Amino acid sequence: MLSSADPALAAAMAAGVDQVADAARRVVRIPTIVLVDGRSGAGKSTFADLLSGRLGLAALVRLDDVYPGWDGLTAGAETVRERVLIPLREGAPGAWPTWNWTADRPSGRERRVDPAPIVIVEGAGVLTPASAALADVTVWMDAPRDARRSRALERDGETYRPHWERWERQEVAHVREHDPQGLAQFVLALP
């Protein structure tokens, strides 16, 4: 969530959007695939929304729609690689099953993304060596843990609070195993 009450956050976010939008516009491959990774509360969703608005003809895929529950960071990222990134790179639509977070089970529905000029995929865990090989622009978003936690709990409230540490352990494992910051062309440090 981008608060207008935090001018430093707004300025850092805007500068990052400018840089990444410029890079995406320079890519000649269609679809241009932009991956935005970072830990919970780092600002990925807000950044992706702003970037999508700046780029216009962009489709947006959110891993929050893909993760199979609170223990599904790795599975969600792999589903996106197999069922979205690979098909898009081959010129075909991507499709994935959605998760019903309230019922804590598959929703029984599928979402789809057609090859758009630009496709932005955002979510924790999305930036791995295998997914980076399919992408054109890669972004890692970072912020101090306390700021991330505060923003995430403000956004999702009591629903997320009991799962914060459980999810954080998966993020730590992702960072240790895949070094997403090292794979990123752009590293955005937010306050």
pLDDT in the model for residue 4: 53
Q: For the residues 75-83, what does the mean pLDDT come to?
A: 98
Residue 113: closest CA among 53, 31, 51: 31
pLDDT at 86 over 80: yes
Q: What φ, ψ does residue 43 adopt, rounded to 5°? A: 110, 15
- SS3 assignment, position 62: strand
Q: For the residues 47-51, what does the mean pLDDT come to?
A: 97
Strands 118-122 and 32-38, bridge-based pairing: parallel
How many angstroms separate the CA atoms of 36 and 160, rounded? Answer: 21
pLDDT at 3 over 90: no
Confidence of residue 31 (pLDDT cuts 50, 70, 90): very high
Residue 160: closest CA among 67, 53, 61, 51: 67
Confidence of residue 1 (pLDDT cuts 50, 70, 90): very low
Neighbouring CB atoms inside 10 A of 139's CB total 28
Contacts of 104 (CB under 8 A, 6+ apart): 69, 70
- SS3 assignment, position 80: helix
Contacts of 138 (CB under 8 A, 6+ apart): 34, 35, 37, 127, 132, 183, 184, 185, 186
Indicate the pTM of the whole model: 0.94
